A and B are shown apart, each in its own frame.
Chain A
Amino acid sequence: MVTRRDFIKCAGGAVAALGGVETALASTGPHLDPDRVGVLCDFTLCIGCRRCEFACAEEAGLPHGELRAYDDTGVFAATRRPDAESLTVINRYPALSADHKPLDVKVNCLHCEHPACVSACPVTALQKNALGPVTYDPWRCIGCRYCMVACPFQIPAYEYHDATAPRVMKCTLCQDRTLEQGRPPACVEICPQEALLYGSRASLLRVAKARIEAHPDRYVDHVYGETEAGGTSWLYLADRDFHQLDLPEVASTSPAEVTESIQHGIFKGFSGPLMLAALVGVILKSAGACEKCEAEAAARNEAGKEADHE
């Protein structure tokens, strides 16, 4: 009989034999361009004018009101999340003290360096472009919504209202503008405060750290997104701990990296399925053996009965 312990030993051995766990862990993750872009969002500069919300809706062809309708600060009464019709939202958090101003926080897809949504998508409708954006192709999407479960920031939304061709909705970093036209995303372009800075992720990190160094009283010493979830293309600066701003404390390894290393480990060289087949074979074989015993016993019974008659 094969115990659970034996099974794990065998499976591990087989995987190791077929290339090793180390290689399996290291080989995950997309190829990333060293000049890949990102956006630095400095919450302390944001004034909550919501122009970025307007520009985003306009660019994405989503329903939106007049520009001046976005002057309404009444929306700050509740904490909002991006949804299928607003891919980015601004939330307002109270000022730390009378000398501070309230902090306005922009929420949208962070374009992870190693995105869990991409990893979870079975049809590569979501992809991490080497230049930074996590792009979406609605023609490939089968609507399984695994991405929505996988995202550590709970960003992707779904067009539940559309019965015919619903899409997964999330910021794509204006993939047409950024990747094809070389222009900054619409939100960055409209931001009057230049609270949003578009550029290479590496230089944005330098700028962010220089700001913290120059104004230690203005910022917490933390660039959110530098390491969160394995790093993100969006980087945030704030005047307080980020968990107070409903930004989750996520591990510095990408969830995708963890799950992929297990999955890739198991499936490397098709060893997992082979092991499974072998296991099923063993089970079937032992089951078959018992059936044979039963058949023999039955035969013996039959023979005994016949002898009694005679």
Chain B
Amino acid sequence: MPRYLAIILGLTLLAAPAAASDQAVKEAHPHDRLHGHSEVPGAKGQCADCHLCAEPTAEDPCMVSCARHGGQFRGVHEVAEGPGVVVIDQLAARYEPVVFAHELHASMAAMSGGCTNCHHYSEDSGAIPTCRQCHAADRSEVDLSMPALKGAYHRQCMNCHLDWSGDNSCDFCHREAAEPGAPVAHDATDIVGIPHPVIEAVATYTYETSHADAPVVTFHHSDHVDVFGQQCVDCHRGDSCKSCHHGDQKPAEHARLDHVTSCCACHGERDCNFCHGREPMPRFDHALSTGFDLAPYHAGRACQDCHGDPRAFRYPSGDCAECHIHWEDGGFDHGITGLVLSADHEENDCSDCHVDLDFARRPSCDDCHDDYRFPAESPHCEICLNLMNEGDGRAAAPSCGHEVRRPVNPGRP
């Protein structure tokens, strides 16, 4: 046998087991997961690029945390939680670092989709990764299908900036660097340092519709914001910057927007009359609409205190005890109802007067006091009770030992 044949045969025998075990590893690995990962920033084509432990198994793959696998942005963050300004200086060669008004943008984004407008991925924990965690500064290091840092930044900014201003000039954000690498100073009173000014909304909109019997639709914007506690983003989901900003012009008033979530998204179950009428409708009044007057004791309550989450609106039964069950002895200042309990009554249990803890039914003195003097023969008591029932705040001068005073709004618990 010629010598080279012997060498080839030897090499083949040597290589065979190695190839086989390699094959086994590859087959055991979920290939689809590998797809597109060969060029992630910093990857060296080794197991450790993705696995933290030396021997990952299907049960415990010990994957490194990757924002992309955390899924679409899920965190819930208040504007104020984020930084006021962000200095972007990773690419400062021709230009000074960019001072990005994060708070200003975050408050605007609140009207058009929230944080997710820019922060498209979040980690499992809900934490927001920085752009450069995924987008490498060096383009040659990245997967072609993913923009590098420069592209990622510019696309985020320019997509909106072009939209509303049509201005693509670099100096909107960049100042040419006098001296590359010099620290950047920014004026805190400049627009980049402040949040978006409060948006003055029109209190009430009325719309003429083609509905023959009830053409007028009234929308009380201020009720939704001030009374029902809706956030801008609850309705203004798809607004683009252009909805308010037209080039250099400042929006004169809170413009009517076409992209808002429709009324039916929340009020879909209601009948037509809920929105449509012949005349503009008055603002929401709890007593008129529901027959339950919030004044005076419940006026300061937030809707959800009684009705729960607005998306799963709950109708309380009207049984006060549904809520009022948790007063401990001596823990309730009866005075806020307008009737200060006299020393004789202070020791009573709630149910002594409010039978079956039915607070809706107003107890009357003669429920307990059936002697002749009360109430018929005691003008003082009558005066007090009348005052109490009318909720009148005039001070009385009772001789029966009770003090009557103006009911005060119960504060939040």
Q: Residues of B contacting A67 with CB < 8 Å?
A: 94, 176
Do A73 and B168 have beta carbons less than 8 Å apart? yes
Contact between A199 and B169 (Cβ–Cβ < 8 Å)?
no
A45 on the interface (CB 8 Å rule)?
yes
A47 at interface, CB cutoff 8 A: yes
The digit string for A33-57, where 1 denotes a CB below 8 A from any CB of B, is 0000000000001011101000000
- The CA of A207 and the CA of B142, in the complex, are separated in Å by 13
Contact between B147 and A101, CB atoms less than 8 A apart: no
Q: A71-B170, A73-B168, A199-B144 are in contact. Are A45 and B155 (CB under 8 A)?
A: yes
Query: Digit string of B379-393 for contact with A (CB within 8 Å is 1, else 0)?
Result: 000000000000000
Q: How far is the CB of B212 from chain A (nearest CB, A)?
A: 32
Whether A207 and B144, one on each chain, are in contact in the complex, defined by CB atoms closer than 8 angstroms, is yes
Assembled-state Cα–Cα distance A19/B220 (Å): 87
A204 close to chain B: CB less than 8 A: yes
Please determine whether B170 and A49 come into contact, CB atoms closer than 8 angstroms: yes
- Contact B145 A207, beta carbon cutoff 8 Å: yes
Contact partner of B151 (CB less than 8 A), chosen from A48, A193, A210, is A193
With a CB–CB cut-off of 8 A, which chain A residues contact B237? none
Measured between beta carbons, the chain A residues less than 8 angstroms from B150 are 192, 194
Residues of A contacting B155 in the complex (Cβ-Cβ under 8 angstroms): 45, 193-194
Chain A contacts for B170, CB-based, 8 A: 49, 51, 68, 71, 192
Nearest B residue to A188, CB-CB: B139
B258 to chain A, nearest CB (A): 11
| B38-75 residues at the A interface, CB under 8 angstroms | none
Q: Which residues of A contact B171 (CB under 8 A)?
A: 68, 71
Alpha-carbon gap, A191 to B154, bound state (A):
10
The interface residues of chain A lying within 8 Å CB-to-CB of B169 are 49, 68, 71
User: With A and B bound together, what is the CA distance between A49 and B154 in angstroms?
Assistant: 12
Alpha-carbon distance between A73 and B169 when the two chains are bound, in angstroms: 9
Interface size on B, residues (CB 8 A): 18
Is B163 on the interface with A (CB-CB < 8 A)?
yes
Is B162 a contact partner of A210 (Cβ separation < 8 A)? no
Taking a contact as CB atoms under 8 Å apart, the answer to whether B162 and A47 are in contact is: yes
The complex places the Cα of A210 from the Cα of B145 at a distance, in Å, of: 8
Chain A residue nearest to B161 (CB atoms) is A47
Q: B158 interface residue, CB < 8 Å from A?
A: yes
User: Is the Cβ of A193 less than 8 Å from the Cβ of B162?
Assistant: no
* Interface set, chain B 113-162, CB cutoff 8 A to A: 139, 144-145, 147-148, 150-151, 154-155, 158, 162
In the complex, what residue of chain A is closest to B174 when comparing beta carbons? A192
Asked whether, in the complex, the Cβ of B139 is within 8 Å of the Cβ of A194, the reply is: yes
Chain B residues with CB under 8 Å of A73's CB are 168
Chain A: how many interface residues by the 8 Å CB criterion? 21
Interface residue A203 (Cβ < 8 Å from any Cβ of B) = yes
Closest beta carbon of chain B to A202's beta carbon, Å: 11
The answer, yes or no, to whether A197 is at the interface (CB within 8 Å) is yes
Interface string of A187-212 (1 = CB under 8 A from B): 00001111001010001100100100
CB-CB under 8 A for A47 and B144, given A192-B150, A194-B151: no
Known: A193-B158, A194-B154, A194-B155. A48 touches B148 (CB 8 A): no
Q: By the criterion CB–CB under 8 Å, are B151 and A101 in contact?
A: no
Please, which residue of chain A has its CB at the minimum distance from the CB of B154?
A192
Chain A residue with the shortest CB-CB distance to B171: A68
Closest chain-A Cβ to B340's Cβ sits at a distance in Å of 65
Q: Are A193 and B145 in contact (CB under 8 A)?
A: no
How distant is the Cα of A73 from the Cα of B145 in the complex, in angstroms? 30
Residues of B contacting A194 with CB < 8 Å?
139, 147-148, 150-151, 154-155
A47 lies within 8 A of B148 (CB): no
A49 and B144 in contact, given A192-B150, A194-B151 (Cβ under 8 angstroms)? no
- Contacts of A184 on B, CB cut-off 8 Å? 139
Q: How far does the alpha carbon of A193 sit from the alpha carbon of B94 in the complex, in Å?
A: 16
A193 to B150, CA, bound (A): 7
What 0/1 readout, one digit per residue, does chain B (314-326) give for beta carbons within 8 Å of chain A?
0000000000000
Q: Which of B144, B148, B169 has the most CB of A within 10 A?
A: B144
CB pair B151 A47 closer than 8 Å: no
Closest to A101 in B: B162
By the criterion CB–CB under 8 Å, are B158 and A47 in contact? yes
| Best-surrounded residue of A51, A194, A210 (most CB of chain B within 10 A) | A194
Which residue on B lies nearest to A48, using beta carbons? B168
Q: Which interface residue of A67, A184, A193, A203 has the most chain B CB atoms within 10 A? A: A193
Q: Mark A150-186, 1 if CB is under 8 A from B, else 0.
A: 0000000000000000000000000000000000100
Give Cα A210–Cα B148 distance, bound, in whole angstroms.
Answer: 17
25 cross-chain CB contacts under 8 A: A45-B155, A47-B158, A48-B168, A49-B169, A49-B170, A51-B170, A67-B94, A67-B176, A68-B169, A71-B169, A73-B168, A101-B163, A191-B151, A192-B150, A193-B151, A193-B154, A193-B155, A193-B158, A194-B139, A194-B148, A194-B150, A194-B151, A194-B154, A194-B155, A197-B144
Known: A68-B176, A193-B158. 8 other contacts (CB 8 A): A67-B94, A71-B168, A71-B170, A184-B139, A192-B170, A193-B155, A197-B144, A203-B144
Top 5 closest pairs, chain A to chain B, by CB: A194-B151, A71-B169, A192-B154, A47-B168, A194-B147
A residues near B, CB below 8 A? 45, 47-49, 51, 67-68, 71, 73, 101, 184, 191-194, 197, 199, 203-204, 207, 210
